[in-house]
């Protein structure tokens, strides 16, 4: 797929793909003076580039593995929406222990074009989100390692099964009976 690109600064370097099979295009810093990013700090780095992103797509800014691993610089705000027609800036955070310098022409991140599914949330009145099979996951509300506990997995499975055939009213009554049994 081809998209339009415009240089806001003639010194800007066009994005490039190092290998034909790479998912992302490398993005380069377009700065007049070096920028230092101290440990725990962040900086907004200009690219000197604008992109025409078609409806139904977005550009996602991703870390370059070498920049993250060797310099401790990781990307912050990552989404460039279709319809945004300003210069792209890269938000870099220094999670390393040393101040890092960015120079004009440094590869600082990569961009990947992704399709967007436009969704609209529908509020429900009862907290039974996965009462119908809309996911393959059996995760439940577990977080931060909860899938490591086999007893918790079994409890979530039993709870989900108890909702499987209920109507909205039946779900409400079932939830009330579960609360009373606690």
Q: What is the pLDDT of residues 123-163, one digit of tens each?
A: 887 777 766 666 666 656 555 555 566 676 777 777 777 76
Side-chain half-sphere of 40: how many Cα atoms within 13 Å? 0
Cα separation, 74 vs 65, in Å, equals: 9
Helix, strand, or coil here: 92? strand
Please report, to the nearest 10 degrees, the dihedral formed by the alpha carbons of residues 133, 154, 147, 115 taken in order: 0
Q: What is the mean pLDDT of the chain?
A: 86
Of the listed ranges 40-44, 112-116, 123-127, 146-150, the least confidently predicted one is: 146-150
Which comes out higher in pLDDT, residue 128 or 19? 19
CA angle 48, 52, 56 (to 5 degrees): 135
Cα 96 from Cα 62, distance rounded (Å): 18
Average pLDDT over residues 167-176: 64
**pLDDT for position 124:** 80
Q: Provide the pLDDT confidence category of residue 15 given band limits of 50, 70 and 90.
A: very high
Higher pLDDT, 77 or 140: 77
């Amino acid at each position: 797929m081809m998209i339009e690109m415009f240089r806001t600064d003639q010194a800007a370097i066009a994005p490039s793909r190092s290998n034909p099979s790479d998912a992302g295009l490398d993005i380069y810093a377009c700065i007049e003076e070096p920028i230092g990013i101290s440990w725990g700090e962040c900086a907004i780095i200009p690219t000197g580039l604008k992109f025409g992103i078609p409806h139904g797509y977005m550009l996602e800014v991703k870390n370059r593995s070498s920049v993250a691993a060797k310099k401790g610089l990781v990307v912050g705000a990552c989404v460039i929406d279709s319809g945004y027609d300003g210069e792209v800036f890269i938000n870099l955070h220094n999670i390393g222990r040393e101040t890092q310098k960015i120079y004009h022409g440094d590869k600082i991140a990569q961009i990947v074009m992704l399709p967007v599914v436009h969704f609209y949330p529908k509020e429900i009145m009862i907290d039974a989100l996965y009462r119908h099979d809309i996911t393959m996951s059996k995760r439940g509300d577990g977080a931060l390692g909860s899938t490591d506990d086999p007893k918790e997995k079994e409890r979530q499975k039993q709870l989900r099964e108890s909702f499987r055939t209920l109507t909205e009213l039946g779900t409400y009554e079932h939830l009330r009976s579960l609360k009373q049994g606690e």
